[in-house]
Structures are given as structure tokens and as C-alpha cells.
Amino acid sequence: MKKTILFFINFILPISFCFADDSNSIGVIAKSEGINFGFAVNYNSLKNDRKYQDIIKKQATIIVPTNELKWSNIHPQKNIYDFSKSDYIIDFAVKNNIKVRGHTILWHARIPNYITDITNPNELKIQINEHIKNVIGRYKGKIESWDVVNEVINPPDKQPNGLRNSYWYKMLGEEYIDIAFKQAHKTDPRAILFYNEWGVEFDTNWSEDKRNKVIALIKRLKARGVPITGFGIQSHISSNNINFVNSKLDNFIDNLKELGLKVYITELDIKNSNNISNTDISLAYKKYLNIVLKKNKVDAVLIWGVYTKRKSDTYVLFDDSGNYNLNYFEVKNTFPYVNKYN
Ligand code: GLA
């Protein structure tokens, strides 16, 4: 009997969802709650897959290019930019009235060698400013928000204030963050400027330590007049650590809002790390969204990807043929209740 029920929940129910009516999309429902919803998208799928395009058009009010704006992708050699892929994604968004996030300017990964070969801090400042002028400048008025810095706190590196010992930090100290935000603001004064971070989601000591260091950094930046206006909570969650998502995340969002920042869930996905059922994965989505939407109301939620890759253990809202899965329906059902909790 138990087996029959499990078979129904895990196989029959999802298949029936594939044919279910979906006249109201998640994007439309979220928008009516004042929240943007969307996905990280990639150039190849967007260009070549009609079904993928249709999902974005129907479901998303905001998208973010997955890799196409990262430094090594867009600016692979000195003075040589490759805007072809990001242009395609951003043109698609503009044409379809979908907002775009820019991800990311300064990150410790995906830095080309011609940059890390620089040993003179002044020369590096010039390169950072040039890069920002060219990349943010090109999409001025088209990209609503930028991840100006990504993943800058990393206490295991044992640097003052928990800062990550990245190339940028080694060369310029904490000031690299100021430089990037100031130039970003100068280049596009209307863009919302984000610091995006992972590992701040859990009711654990290490996550609490990270959150404290993040808040302290934001306060220092604000005290120095750095134009930071948003904080992105990446939200790569697993079926194990969803159990540690609770009131601390709720309070953290309050703290960020008190500092006057927009708060986005920027990279939500759920990894099945302990072989739980599809239903339990969808309930993990539900639990996460109920916490971040409930009383604090984040301003946007983006899922990190559209299709769940066949061999991946990380689950998003569609299967690899573009059919809805259970997660889609749990996510969709969570949004209409946002206002009831406020
Ligand atoms: C970080 C980055 C993303 C992506 C993921 C890996 O979260 O911000 O751009 O590279 O790692 O999926």
C-alpha cells in the first residue's frame, strides 16, 4: 500500500502536472505581490530552445545571465570585449519587457590572467574602472541591478573583518569594494548596486558569524559613503541544510532592510544531498520561500537555472524537457500567501 502511494506521489502526480492548466504564471502571481520572479538563463538555451524561451517569456519578470557577464567571459583579453552573448540575452529581455540583473563585476573566480598578472595597485584600479565603464555603461538603463561584488566575506581565510583573501583584496585591501561601487554608481546612477553572498542562510554558528561580518561590512561601507543599495542572498540550499533554515534568516533580512537595502534571493536551487523524495524536495522549496516571503518580503526571487539537468542532483522547477515538476507547483502556490502574513 505504502509503495502504491509513493508511486503515485513520485511518478503519477508529476506527470499529471505536466498537462495541468497553467493560465497564471509564477511571474504574474509574484508581481501581484510586488515581487519579481525569474531565473538565471544561459545564452545557448535561450538562442536554440523555443520551449526554454517560452518558459522565460511566460514565467519571468526578471532574469540574470548565468555566466555571460562574468569578467573572463565578457572581457577575456586586455581591451577585448565579447558582448555577443550578453547582448543577445539582454535584447531578448528588453523586447519582452523582462528586467535584467547583472552578475557579476568583482568575484574571486573567473579573473583572466592579464588581470592577475598586474602587480601595481594603481594600474589595477585603472583596469577595474575601465571594465566597469565599458560593461555597466553598455547596458545603462537596461540592467536594473548589478552584483558589484560577489562572495567577499570568507572567515576561513583569517583576514581582518573576515574578508576573503582574493586577488582584489590582496592588491587593494577592503578599498577594492569602494572603488567598484563608486565607479558603478558613476556609470549608471539608477542601477541598484548589490553585494551578493552565499552561506548566510542557516541557523548555525558559522552562518551567524558570516552574517555578522556581512552586516559589519555593509555598515562600514555606508559610513564611508559607498553607494551600496542591495544585498543578494544566493540560497544554494540542500536537502540536508534546509533543516537549518529558520528564524536567523528571517532576522537577517530584517537587518538588511533596516539598513535600507533591497533584498533579493538571487540563486535559489535545492540539491538532493541525502536521497529524499521529489515531494520532499518540493517541500524544501516551500519551506524556504515561506521564510523569505512571509513577513519580510524580499523584493525578488530568482531560481538558479530553468531545466533540471538529467544527471544533476540539483533540482529547479522544470525537467530537462521543459515540463513542470512538483517544485514548480509548490513555488507557485507559495506566492499568493505572501500578503496574508504581513
Ligand atoms: C556562485 C556564483 C554563481 C555560480 C555558482 C556555481 O554562486 O555566484 O555565478 O557560478 O557559484 O553554480
Query: What secondary structure does DSSP assign to 267-289, as a single string?
Result: EEEEE--S---HHHHHHHHHHHH
pLDDT tens by residue, 92-136: 999 999 999 999 999 999 999 999 999 999 999 999 999 999 999
For residue 18, the model assigns a pLDDT of 46
Q: What cell numbers appear for 213 in the block?
A: 561580518
Q: If you take atom 5 of ligand 1, which residue's CA is the nearest one?
A: 267
Q: If you take atom 2 of ligand 1, which residue's CA is the nearest one?
A: 150
Q: In 190-295, which ranges are continuous DSSP H helix?
A: 205-223, 247-258, 278-293
Q: Within a 10 A sphere around the Cβ of 165, how many other Cβ atoms?
A: 13
Q: Which ligand 1 atom is at minimum distance from the Cα of 67?
A: 9
Distance 98 CA to ligand 1 centre (A): 22
User: How far apart, in whole angstroms, are the C-alpha atoms of residue 169 and residue 336?
Assistant: 43
DSSP-derived 3-state class of residue 265: strand
For residue 19, the model assigns a pLDDT of 47
Report percent pLDDT > 90 for the chain. Answer: 89
Beta bridge partners of 269: 236
Average pLDDT score over residue span 45-54: 98
* pLDDT confidence tier of residue 336, bands split at 50, 70 and 90: confident
Average pLDDT score over residue span 195-217: 98
For residue 160, the model assigns a pLDDT of 98
| Cβ(264)–Cβ(300) below 8 Å | yes
User: How far apart, in whole angstroms, are the C-alpha atoms of residue 290 and residue 232?
Assistant: 17
Q: Is the pLDDT of residue 21 over 70?
A: no
For residue 247, the model assigns a pLDDT of 93
Q: Is the pLDDT of residue 281 over 50?
A: yes
Average pLDDT score over residue span 200-208: 98
Q: If you take atom 4 of ligand 1, which residue's CA is the nearest one?
A: 66
Average pLDDT score over residue span 174-202: 99
Q: If you take atom 12 of ligand 1, which residue's CA is the nearest one?
A: 304
Q: Which ligand 1 atom is at minimum distance from the Cα of 198?
A: 7
- Is the CA virtual torsion 95, 227, 199, 127 positive or negative? positive
Q: Is the pLDDT of residue 337 over 70?
A: no
Answer whether the bond into residue 187 is a cis peptide, omega within 30°: no
Average pLDDT score over residue span 193-203: 98
Distance 109 CA to ligand 1 centre (A): 9
Q: If you take atom 3 of ligand 1, which residue's CA is the nearest one?
A: 66
What phi, psi does 159 have (nearest 5°)?
-100, 160
Q: Which ligand 1 atom is at minimum distance from the Cα of 66?
A: 9
Q: What cell numbers appear for 48 in the block?
A: 536554440
Q: Which ligand 1 atom is at minimum distance from the Cα of 236?
A: 7
Distance 243 CA to ligand 1 centre (A): 22
* pLDDT confidence tier of residue 9, bands split at 50, 70 and 90: low
* pLDDT confidence tier of residue 295, bands split at 50, 70 and 90: confident
Q: Which ligand 1 atom is at minimum distance from the Cα of 147?
A: 8
Q: Is the pLDDT of residue 145 over 70?
A: yes
Ligand 1 surroundings by CB, under 6 angstroms: 103, 150, 198, 234, 267
Strands (E), 32-107: 36-41, 62-65, 99-106
Distance 57 CA to ligand 1 centre (A): 24
Test site for ligand 1: of 74, 234, 269, 309, most ligand atoms within 8 A of the Cβ: 234
Test site for ligand 1: of 107, 304, 308, most ligand atoms within 8 A of the Cβ: 304
Distance 267 CA to ligand 1 centre (A): 8
For residue 300, the model assigns a pLDDT of 98
For residue 115, the model assigns a pLDDT of 98
Q: Give the catalytic positions in this structure.
A: 151, 267
Distance 236 CA to ligand 1 centre (A): 9
For residue 342, the model assigns a pLDDT of 46
User: How far apart, in whole angstroms, are the C-alpha atoms of residue 161 and residue 146?
Assistant: 24
